[in-house]
Structure 1
Amino acid sequence: MNSAEFEKVIDEYGEHLLKIAYFYLRDRETGKDIVQEVFISFYSAADYEEQGKLRAYLTKMTVNRCKDYLRSWSFRHLQFRNSWIETIHTERDPLILQEEKSEIAIAILKLPVKYREIIIFYYYEEYNMREVAQFLNLSENTVKTRMIKARKLLKVDLSLDYWEVLSIE
Structure 2
Amino acid sequence: MLTNKEKELIEEIRRGNARAFTDLVERYKDLVFTLSLRLLGNREEAEEVSQDAFIKIYKSLATFKGDSKVSTWIYRIAYNTALDRIKKNKRAHDHVEIDQVRKMGLADMDDALDKMVQEEKRQLIDQCLAKLPTEDAGIITLFYFEEKNLLEMEKILNVSANTIKVKLFRARKKLAGIMETSLEREILESNG
Q: 1:57 to 1:155 in 2, by over 3 A?
A: farther
Q: 1:8 to 1:123 in 2, by over 3 A?
A: same
Q: Percent identity?
A: 21
Give the letter for the 2:178 counterpart: L
Please name the residue that 2:83 is paired with. Answer: 67
How do 1:47-66 residues align onto structure 2 when only pairs under 5 Å count? 47-66=63-82
How do 1:15-164 residues align onto structure 2 when only pairs under 5 Å count? 15-45=30-60, 46-72=62-88, 75-76=89-90, 85=94, 88=96, 96-98=98-100, 102-103=122-123, 104-129=125-150, 132=153, 135-136=156-157, 137=159, 139=163, 140-157=165-182
Task: Give the superposition deviation at 1:109.
Answer: 3.5
Instruction: Pick the structure with greater CA Rg.
Output: 2
Task: Give the superposition deviation at 1:52.
Answer: 1.8
The ranges of structure 1 where at least 4 consecutive aligned residues each deviate by more than 6 angstroms after the TM superposition are none
Q: 1:44 to 1:105 in 2, by over 3 A?
A: same
CA distance in 1, matches of 2:179, 2:99: 21
Give the letter for the 1:119 counterpart: I
Unaligned runs of 5+ in 2: 1-12, 102-118, 184-192
Q: Give the alignment's TM-score, normalised by structure 2.
A: 0.61
CA RMSD of aligned residues (A): 3.0
Q: Give the alignment's TM-score, normalised by structure 1.
A: 0.69
Q: 1:130 to 1:144 in 2, by over 3 A?
A: farther
